[in-house]
Structure 1
Amino acid sequence: MNSMRARLLVILLLTTGAVWLSAAAWIYWSTQARVEQVLDARLREAARMVDSLITDHRIEIASAAEAIEGLDVERMTDEPYSHQLSCQIWSLAGSLVGRSEAAPRERLASSDDGFSQTAIDGETWRVYTVLNSERGVQVMVGDNLKVRQSLVNDVMTGTLLPMTLVLPVAGLLIWLSVQRGLRPLDRMAALLARRHANDLRPVDLPDAPGELRPALDAINGLFGRVASARDREKSFTAFAAHELKTPLAGLKTQAQIALASDDPKTSRHALEQIVSGVDRSSRMVRQLLDLAAADANEERDVAGAADAATVVRDAIRSVESLAARRNVGIEAQGLPDGKVACDRALATTALRNILENAILHSPAGETVRIAASTSDQKTLFRVEDGGPGMTEDDLAHARARFYRGTHHDGAGSGLGLAIVDTIMRRAGGSLTLANQEGAGFTATLHFPKA
């Protein structure tokens, strides 16, 4: 049953039915107990009254049993039950002295005094016995339990029949209440169904009940995240198209120069520019893919247990060719122990981009140093270069996508630090950037330990 409306209706109907059955059972048992109590009191009073008539000599013993039919106590019940009492008078010698018209001929009770139950001809009788030693008789007054049960059933029928007839009305009222109670949910569904796919404004239902508010907040939060993702994708696409257009145009220009020139030096220079442009374009495409991967992982768990030393070795290996072309050395001051709480590929991507930036901004002959340290909670990768560093304005905007600093040489795309910052935030770590005293720059990756 996938319908919340149907499920709620069934739950309420079952709950109402359970309450109704519990009430019916309680009424039945309490009515039966009350009727038993009242009728037992009637038996006792009737038996004592007959005994009193015999003791006071106000009636003959033989006819005393017939007097039960005229006692006022009979009028305690409705007409169908007014003659249910039966009376027997037995001598202490064991002979039947007298009985009422409705009384059986067999002895109603064998006990000397008090209440008892006796089965006669397949029917059970409830009997109250009074021992009259002075007159040498036993007065027995009883009624048939079948008649008692009939009385209880009639009382229950009169009580439960109206309640049963009301059940369909209660079911209809429950159904109408469920329909009305879920109406705000229907309004929200209709409002969302009418919306255009590009309409990511928050859903506003001023009269929404408190139970619906968490769902509304969650939907509005999702809309906000989707809008942010779409804006980021639009920005990403626009910047990527712009950044790729320039090097492609340059490649075309250099290729035309190489084809048109007869001078070997000019042609070779143009071809070298094409190779350099291809390298820059290749690096930009790779960084765009890295950024797309980092953005995609923002909605997934990137936590892992990457070996810190392996991350350092993989990152250095991936930039060795770039360092050789730019005549920049790489020095790793010890390999860290333990693991970082990040996916290995993403952690390597973050460190590789930091190393690439350091190599690209270091003059030829310099050395890029990478050092690692660990604490109880974090593993730090610190990368130092001998470049010119950043201005205060560059530091403030360095993490923005496609932002190039004051000292860029055209080789970068402005994506490296944006990629690193996205990965570090997703992994629960952080990136710090700082100028060194004199010259040089330091970038530090703070990874949480696994």
Structure 2
Amino acid sequence: MILVATTGLIWLAATAWIYLGTKAELERVLDTRLQEAARMVSSLVRDAGASAPAAIAATPQIAASEPGGYERQLSCQIWSLEGRLVAASTAAPADRLSSHAAGFSDNVIAGELWRVYAIEDAAKGVRVLVGDRLGLRDRLVNDLVLGLVAPTLLMLPIFAGLIWISVGRGLSPLRGIAADLQQRAADDLAPLHARVIDEIRPVTDALNGLLTRLDAARRHEREFTAFAAHELRTPLAGIRTQAQIARVADTSAMRTAALDHIMHGVDRTARLISQLLALARLESGAEPNRREPVNLGQLLRDIDREGQRPASIIVEIDAGIDAMKVEGDPDHLKLALRNLHDNACGHSPAGGRVRWLRIGEFELAVDDEGPGVPSDELALIRQRFYRGRAAQNAGSGLGLAIVDVALHKVRAELTFSTPPSGRGLRAAVSFARCVSACKFDPVRRGIGVQL
């Protein structure tokens, strides 16, 4: 309905434009004809005598005028300069057409508005007046416009009907899609399979893409909830068991041991919940992603100083990392590097070393001296709650998953490999580019700061 109304308004505007344009052009053409007729009569008149009627009769636009006709609607009067009517056309009014000596003028004669052009010839002693009725001009314009617009007005209902039918048929798939969505269950996120026209196809493709993403998000949420419930059940069950032991313990030593196990279970549960919340915040995208220059060397020293690594673990940070400054969200970078640092420290044995190295212009890595990861498990260790066959600590299996998501937020890539020493695990982080970085010098890579 809106399209039909809009089309009607466009046609009305076009009709008004045609009317005004036609009227202006017709006024110009008819004024030019007045001038030509007056000049022709003036050139044929020899004096204020008998030649005047002959001059009028010899002018085609004026001779044999027919009242109401468009072809010969001009009226002519020839006046002497003394004010005597010398000659006039048959259709000319009895009153003088104009009192102007020369040029165009509009005059009311016998209740009608006339357009008159006057030429005065002092040598011949005559003034020629040629005019026509403006009412006839308006009628001519109306007839011309009606002749142009009438076919369009007749076609407008047909055109509107065709628009209505075409748009209705084109939008009918949308009604089918709406009916399909209304009948669906809340958990039905299957893609739509509607045949639509090309103009609507981008809408259905975008809607199917949205449904696919929602289905993946919901499936991931269910899996995440199931994994989280399973992982929380184990430490909670252990805490309950130790609480029961402490309750019935006969000796203070047994009670103290049970309480120590409870504290350990509480710490593990708190860490798991903290990691779950961190991962949920990262994946939700609720927090704004800031972009600031971050010095990676200083950030690693801050992480190690704030952490709680065992005193027996030795941490080395390559001096070349101090020259690396990347642009990204400081919180996301700190979260990713802290989890990598804690993971390396947690898997290294007492007296082991954790080395942070700069291995490329935009790449750094952390090597630990732990048991390492079999090559067939390297592609799996970033999955949620995956610990691997050789896992020796009581981690939750979420640390590397958090690292992967956080680095993705800052457009960095995480890869795993075995260090050149053949012992432990190397986690490498590749950044798209650095804000500032000195030229990478492999010779300086071994020079570092021991913490």
Query: What is the rounded CA distance, in whole Å, between the counterparts of 1:62 and 1:104 in structure 2?
Result: 22
Bigger helix share: 1
Contact 1:244 1:281 in 2 (8 A): yes
Structure 1's unaligned 5+ residue stretches are none
Q: Secondary structure at the match of 1:323?
A: coil
- Alignment-mate amino acid for residue 226 of structure 1: L
Q: CA deviation at 1:154?
A: 1.1
Aligned to 1:220: 208
Q: CA deviation at 1:108?
A: 6.9
The residue correspondences of 1:89-104 to structure 2 (distance < 5 A) are 90=80, 96=84, 98-100=86-88, 102=93, 104=95
Query: What is the rounded CA distance, in whole Å, between the counterparts of 2:399 and 2:100 in structure 1?
Result: 106
Query: What is the rounded CA distance, in whole Å, between the counterparts of 1:70 and 1:292 in structure 2?
Result: 97
Contact 1:68 1:87 in 2 (8 A): no
Aligned to 1:343: 329
- Alignment-mate amino acid for residue 23 of structure 1: I
Q: CA deviation at 1:245?
A: 0.6
Aligned residues with identical type, % of pairs: 29
Q: CA deviation at 1:374?
A: 7.3
Q: Does residue 159 of structure 2 align to residue 159 of structure 1?
A: no
- Alignment-mate amino acid for residue 125 of structure 1: V
Q: Does residue 71 of structure 2 align to residue 86 of structure 1?
A: no
Moved more, 165-174 or 307-316: 165-174
Query: What is the rounded CA distance, in whole Å, between the counterparts of 1:434 and 1:75 in structure 2?
Result: 109
Query: What is the rounded CA distance, in whole Å, between the counterparts of 1:268 and 1:70 in structure 2?
Result: 132
RMSD after superposition: 4.1
Q: Secondary structure at the match of 2:390?
A: coil
Q: CA deviation at 1:29?
A: 1.7
Moved more, 161-170 or 399-408: 161-170
Query: What is the rounded CA distance, in whole Å, between the counterparts of 2:59 and 2:328 in structure 1?
Result: 100
Q: Does residue 341 of structure 2 align to residue 328 of structure 1?
A: no
User: In structure 2, do the counterparts of structure 1 residues 287 and 121 end up closer, same or farther at CA, with 3 Å as the change threshold?
Assistant: closer
Q: Secondary structure at the match of 1:445?
A: strand
Aligned to 1:367: 353
Query: What is the rounded CA distance, in whole Å, between the counterparts of 1:339 and 1:12 in structure 2?
Result: 60
Aligned to 2:431: 447
Would you say how many aligned residue pairs link Structure 1 and Structure 2? 420
User: In structure 2, do the counterparts of structure 1 residues 27 and 288 end up closer, same or farther at CA, with 3 Å as the change threshold?
Assistant: same
TM-score scaled to structure 1, two decimals? 0.77
Q: CA deviation at 1:238?
A: 0.5
Q: Does residue 370 of structure 2 align to residue 383 of structure 1?
A: no
Q: CA deviation at 1:144?
A: 3.2
Q: CA deviation at 1:431?
A: 0.8
User: In structure 2, do the counterparts of structure 1 residues 300 and 193 end up closer, same or farther at CA, with 3 Å as the change threshold?
Assistant: farther
The counterpart of 1:276, out of the listed 232, 242, 264, is: 264
Query: What is the rounded CA distance, in whole Å, between the counterparts of 2:73 and 2:398 in structure 1?
Result: 105
Query: What is the rounded CA distance, in whole Å, between the counterparts of 1:223 and 1:276 in structure 2?
Result: 43
Query: What is the rounded CA distance, in whole Å, between the counterparts of 2:99 and 2:26 in structure 1?
Result: 26
Aligned to 1:234: 222
Q: Secondary structure at the match of 1:341?
A: strand
User: In structure 2, do the counterparts of structure 1 residues 189 and 45 end up closer, same or farther at CA, with 3 Å as the change threshold?
Assistant: farther
Contact 2:40 2:59 in 1 (8 A): no
Aligned to 2:280: 292
Contact 2:41 2:128 in 1 (8 A): yes
User: In structure 2, do the counterparts of structure 1 residues 241 and 106 end up closer, same or farther at CA, with 3 Å as the change threshold?
Assistant: closer
Q: CA deviation at 1:235?
A: 1.0
User: In structure 2, do the counterparts of structure 1 residues 70 and 291 end up closer, same or farther at CA, with 3 Å as the change threshold?
Assistant: closer
Q: Secondary structure at the match of 1:439?
A: coil
The counterpart of 1:35, out of the listed 30, 37, 41, is: 30
Contact 1:302 1:426 in 2 (8 A): no
Query: What is the rounded CA distance, in whole Å, between the counterparts of 1:90 and 1:355 in structure 2?
Result: 116
Contact 1:435 1:441 in 2 (8 A): yes
Aligned to 2:441: none
- Alignment-mate amino acid for residue 76 of structure 2: S
The residue correspondences of 1:167-178 to structure 2 (distance < 5 A) are 170=156, 177=163
- Alignment-mate amino acid for residue 358 of structure 1: A
Structure 2's unaligned 5+ residue stretches are 436-451
Q: Does residue 118 of structure 2 align to residue 144 of structure 1?
A: no
Contact 2:356 2:366 in 1 (8 A): yes
TM-score scaled to structure 2, two decimals? 0.77
Aligned to 1:356: 342
- Alignment-mate amino acid for residue 431 of structure 2: F
User: In structure 2, do the counterparts of structure 1 residues 346 and 309 end up closer, same or farther at CA, with 3 Å as the change threshold?
Assistant: same
Moved more, 267-276 or 10-19: 10-19
- Alignment-mate amino acid for residue 234 of structure 1: R
Query: What is the rounded CA distance, in whole Å, between the counterparts of 1:314 and 1:151 in structure 2?
Result: 96
Q: Secondary structure at the match of 1:305?
A: strand
Query: What is the rounded CA distance, in whole Å, between the counterparts of 2:59 and 2:278 in structure 1?
Result: 107
